[in-house]
Chains A and B, each alone.
Chain A
C-alpha cells in the first residue's frame, strides 16, 4: 500500500519534471553568460521590453556564471534539454558546428542586418562560408599603467617595447614599498594568453604555417625566457602562479602594480572601486622587429538546431542587435562595440581608454579555430606554470610543443 503510494508520487514527480522541460509554444529560452553583476538586470529589462513589443512570445533567460557555462551546455546538449539560443565562447564554436548542434543563420540574415556589424568581430563566427553565431560581446587586450608610479619613478611615457618595459619595471621596483613593476598572470583562465603577448611580439604565432604548434620555435623560447628573467629579477609580483587575472587586477587597483595587460572592463571596475587611481591605457609592447599582438575575443550567440521556435528566437536576436540594445549592454559590461552605428556614439568616440583598445585591433589575434584548441591552451598554461615556478624554459617548451602537436595531428 505504502509502496504503491510512493510509486504514484514518484511517477507524478517525474511527470511534472518532464512537463517542465518541454518547451511551450512561443517561448524562447536563452542561456546567457554572467559577465558581471549587471548582466542579469540587463537581460531582465530586455525580457520586459521585448515581450511588450512582441505579444505572444515569452522569453526566458538563464543566467549562468562563465566558469560553468561550457559544463552546463555540455550536459544540456547531451540530455537534449538545451535552450533555443545560447551565448558561447566563439572558440568553442567549431565543436558545436562539427557536432551539428548549431543552426546556420544565413537564412535569416539580410544584407542590411549583416551591414550592422564590424567585420573583424563577425568573421570569427563564420565557418565554411556559413554564419553560425553573432558576436554578442567583443573584447581585446591592452596595457594598463599606473601614472602615479610612473611619475614617481621618473618615467615619461608608457614603454613601447619589451626592453623598455623591463627598464621601467626596474625603476618601479626601485621605489620599494611593496610596488611591483609588471603584473604577470600565472593562474587559471588566460594564463596561456598572457604568455602569447610576449610570444607574438617575437613574430611567433600560436600555430606555424604548417599547422604545428608554435611553442617549439626560437621566438617562443625567447618570450618564455623574457618572463622568467623578469620573475627571477623580481620585476613581477611575487608568487606569479598564485595570481589569476582578477588577483593581478586587484593589485593594480590597489596601486601596487606598475603595468599589466588586460581587457577594457578593468576601466569600469576602476571607475567603481578605485576612482582615485590615475592610470593610462597603452599599446602592448612590441618586440625587437616591431611585431606585436593583442588577443581578440568574441563571444557568440548561437541558435540550436533542435530549437522549435526558430522564428521567434530570430526576432529576439534582431532586437538584441539593435544599436540601442547593443549600446546598453556593451557600455554596462565594458566591452568593445560590435555594431558600426554603435561605434559612432559619443561614448566610444570620446573615450581615450577604449580608443587605445580599438587602435590595437589590426594586431588582434583570435583563438585559432581548430578542434582540440582548449587542450592545446591547457598544455600551454601548464608549461608556463612550470617555467614560472623555476623550470627550464627550453625543456618545458619542447615537451609542450610535442604534446600540442600530438593533439593537433588528430
Chain B
C-alpha cells in the first residue's frame, strides 16, 4: 500500500516546482491571449480566439512559422551531421587531442549574443573581415552585402547556428562513444569488418539513444533561439529572416500587441510539446523493440 503512493509523494516536490515555473506562466499566457489586453498587460474583455485568428490571417506569422521549421531542421540536422565525425575524431587517441577538444568547445563558452555581434561585424559589407578575406584570396571581385537580403543573410545565420550547436552535440556524442567498449571494435576488426561497416553496425546503433536525446534537446533549444537572428538582422529586411521568437518579440515590445504575442508563444509551446511527445514515444518504442 505504502509502495503505491511513495513514487507520487517523491515526485511531488518537483511537480510543485514545475507548477510554479511552467504551469503558472502558461496559464498566464492563456489568460492574456484570450483577452483584449492593454499595452501594459492589463486584461480587458474576454475575446476568445480573436488573437489566434489574427495570427492565422497574418502572412508574416505564417512565413515566420515555416521559416522556423526550416531553421530548426537545418541547424539541428547540420549540427548532427557535423558532430558525429567530429566526436569520432576527438574520441581517437592522437597527439594534441586535449587542445583540439578545447577548440571545439570554445564557441560554447562565448555568449551567444557576443558571437552574433562578432559575426555581424565580420559580415559587414564594406569593412567586414569575411569580405576582405575573400577578396584577398581572390574568390570574389567585389564586396558581398551579406546581411542586405535574406538570400545571403539566412544561410549565414544557419551556418552560425550550426557552429554554436556543435559543441553541445559533440559533448553528448563523446559521452556516447566512450560508453562503447573497445572489444567490440577489436572483435569486428578480427572478423575483417571495414571501418564503414564498423560504423554502421557498431557505432551508429549504439550511439542512437544519444542521437535521439541530441535531437530533442537541440530542437527545443534552436526552435527558441533568439540572439543570432535578432542581433544580425532583427528578422529583416522586411521580415524576411523572421522566425517565431523574433516575430513574437516585435509584436510584444515594438508594437505592443501583448495578446497576439502571447498567442504566438502558446503556438510555439504547443508545437514543441507535440514534437517532443511524438519523438520521445517513437524513440522509446524503438528502444524497447
Report if A and B associate in a common complex: yes
Question: Footprint of B on A, CB under 8 Å?
Answer: 3, 6, 70-71, 74, 77-78, 95, 99, 101, 178, 186-188, 237-243, 247, 250-251, 254, 256, 374-375, 378, 382-383, 385-386, 388-389
Question: Footprint of A on B, CB under 8 Å?
Answer: 13, 38-42, 124-127, 143, 145-149, 153, 233-234, 236-239, 250, 252-258
What chain A residues lie within 8 Å of B127 (beta carbons)?
250, 254
- Say how far B44's CB is from chain A's closest CB, in angstroms: 11
- The answer on a CB contact under 8 Å between B256 and A374 is yes
- The answer on a CB contact under 8 Å between A256 and B126 is yes
Please report the C-alpha to C-alpha distance between residue A3 and residue B13 in the assembled complex, in whole angstroms. Answer: 8
- The answer on a CB contact under 8 Å between B126 and A385 is no
- The answer on a CB contact under 8 Å between A101 and B40 is yes
What chain B residues lie within 8 Å of A188 (beta carbons)?
234, 236
Q: List 9 A-B contacts (CB under 8 A).
A: A71-B253, A74-B41, A187-B236, A238-B126, A238-B143, A242-B146, A254-B127, A374-B256, A375-B256
Interface centre among B238, B250, B256 (most CB of A within 10 A): B238
What chain B residues lie within 8 Å of A77 (beta carbons)?
40-41
What chain B residues lie within 8 Å of A247 (beta carbons)?
124
Query: Known contacts A70-B253, A238-B143, A239-B145: does B239 contact A382 (CB below 8 Å)?
Result: yes
Please report the C-alpha to C-alpha distance between residue A293 and residue B39 in the assembled complex, in whole angstroms. Answer: 31
- The answer on a CB contact under 8 Å between B125 and A239 is yes
- The answer on a CB contact under 8 Å between A389 and B237 is yes
Give 18 A-B pairs besides A74-B256, A99-B40, A187-B234 with Cβ atoms closer than 8 angstroms.
A6-B13, A74-B253, A74-B258, A77-B40, A77-B41, A95-B39, A99-B39, A187-B233, A187-B237, A239-B125, A240-B148, A241-B237, A242-B146, A250-B127, A374-B255, A378-B250, A382-B236, A382-B238
- Say how far B281's CB is from chain A's closest CB, in angstroms: 32
What chain B residues lie within 8 Å of A178 (beta carbons)?
126
- The answer on a CB contact under 8 Å between B40 and A386 is no
Query: Known contacts A247-B124, A374-B254: does B38 contact A242 (CB below 8 Å)?
Result: no
- Say how far A96's CB is from chain B's closest CB, in angstroms: 8
What chain B residues lie within 8 Å of A251 (beta carbons)?
126
- Say how far B27's CB is from chain A's closest CB, in angstroms: 15
- Say how far B206's CB is from chain A's closest CB, in angstroms: 37
Query: Known contacts A74-B39, A99-B39, A374-B255: does B238 contact A238 (CB below 8 Å)?
Result: no
- The answer on a CB contact under 8 Å between A385 and B40 is no
- The answer on a CB contact under 8 Å between B148 and A241 is yes
- Say how far B155's CB is from chain A's closest CB, in angstroms: 15
- Say how far A308's CB is from chain B's closest CB, in angstroms: 19
- Closest chain A residue to B146, Cβ basis: A242
- The answer on a CB contact under 8 Å between A378 and B254 is yes
Q: Chain B at the A interface: mostly helix, strand, loop or mixed?
A: loop
- The answer on a CB contact under 8 Å between A238 and B145 is yes
- The answer on a CB contact under 8 Å between B39 and A239 is no
What chain B residues lie within 8 Å of A6 (beta carbons)?
13
Please report the C-alpha to C-alpha distance between residue A389 and residue B239 in the assembled complex, in whole angstroms. Answer: 12
- Say how far B262's CB is from chain A's closest CB, in angstroms: 12
Please report the C-alpha to C-alpha distance between residue A385 and residue B234 in the assembled complex, in whole angstroms. Answer: 13
What chain A residues lie within 8 Å of B254 (beta carbons)?
70, 374, 378
- The answer on a CB contact under 8 Å between A385 and B39 is no
- Say how far B280's CB is from chain A's closest CB, in angstroms: 28
- Closest chain A residue to B249, Cβ basis: A71
What chain B residues lie within 8 Å of A256 (beta carbons)?
126
Please report the C-alpha to C-alpha distance between residue A95 and residue B41 in the assembled complex, in whole angstroms. Answer: 12
- Say how far A310's CB is from chain B's closest CB, in angstroms: 20
Please report the C-alpha to C-alpha distance between residue A30 and residue B128 in the assembled complex, in whole angstroms. Answer: 39
Please report the C-alpha to C-alpha distance between residue A256 and residue B143 in the assembled complex, in whole angstroms. Answer: 15
Closest 8 CB pairs of A and B: A239-B145, A78-B41, A239-B148, A242-B148, A241-B237, A385-B237, A242-B147, A385-B238
- Say how far A40's CB is from chain B's closest CB, in angstroms: 20
What chain B residues lie within 8 Å of A254 (beta carbons)?
127
- Closest chain A residue to B126, Cβ basis: A251
- The answer on a CB contact under 8 Å between A99 and B38 is yes
What chain A residues lie within 8 Å of B238 (beta carbons)?
241, 382-383, 385-386, 389
- The answer on a CB contact under 8 Å between B236 and A241 is yes
- The answer on a CB contact under 8 Å between B147 and A239 is yes
What chain B residues lie within 8 Å of A239 (beta carbons)?
125, 143, 145, 147-148
- Say how far B265's CB is from chain A's closest CB, in angstroms: 14
What chain A residues lie within 8 Å of B253 (beta carbons)?
70-71, 74
What chain A residues lie within 8 Å of B256 (beta carbons)?
74, 95, 374-375
- The answer on a CB contact under 8 Å between B40 and A74 is yes
| Contact pick for A242, options B42, B145, B257, CB 8 Å | B145
Please report the C-alpha to C-alpha distance between residue A374 and residue B257 in the assembled complex, in whole angstroms. Answer: 11
- Closest chain A residue to B232, Cβ basis: A242
What chain A residues lie within 8 Å of B42 (beta carbons)?
78, 99
- The answer on a CB contact under 8 Å between B148 and A378 is no
- The answer on a CB contact under 8 Å between A237 and B41 is no
| Contact pick for A241, options B41, B149, B252, CB 8 Å | B149
- The answer on a CB contact under 8 Å between B255 and A242 is no
What chain A residues lie within 8 Å of B234 (beta carbons)?
187-188
What chain A residues lie within 8 Å of B233 (beta carbons)?
187
Please report the C-alpha to C-alpha distance between residue A94 and residue B139 in the assembled complex, in whole angstroms. Answer: 53
What chain B residues lie within 8 Å of A74 (beta carbons)?
39-41, 252-253, 256, 258
Interface centre among A70, A78, A250 (most CB of B within 10 A): A78
Please report the C-alpha to C-alpha distance between residue A304 and residue B149 in the assembled complex, in whole angstroms. Answer: 42
- Say how far B130's CB is from chain A's closest CB, in angstroms: 13
Please report the C-alpha to C-alpha distance between residue A247 and residue B121 in the assembled complex, in whole angstroms. Answer: 10
Please report the C-alpha to C-alpha distance between residue A253 and residue B199 in the assembled complex, in whole angstroms. Answer: 57
- Closest chain B residue to A3, Cβ basis: B13
Please report the C-alpha to C-alpha distance between residue A360 and residue B57 in the assembled complex, in whole angstroms. Answer: 43
What chain B residues lie within 8 Å of A99 (beta carbons)?
38-40, 42
Query: Known contacts A99-B38, A239-B148, A242-B148: does B236 contact A385 (CB below 8 Å)?
Result: yes
- The answer on a CB contact under 8 Å between B40 and A78 is yes
Please report the C-alpha to C-alpha distance between residue A17 and residue B104 in the assembled complex, in whole angstroms. Answer: 40
Please report the C-alpha to C-alpha distance between residue A374 and residue B149 in the assembled complex, in whole angstroms. Answer: 24
What chain B residues lie within 8 Å of A101 (beta carbons)?
40
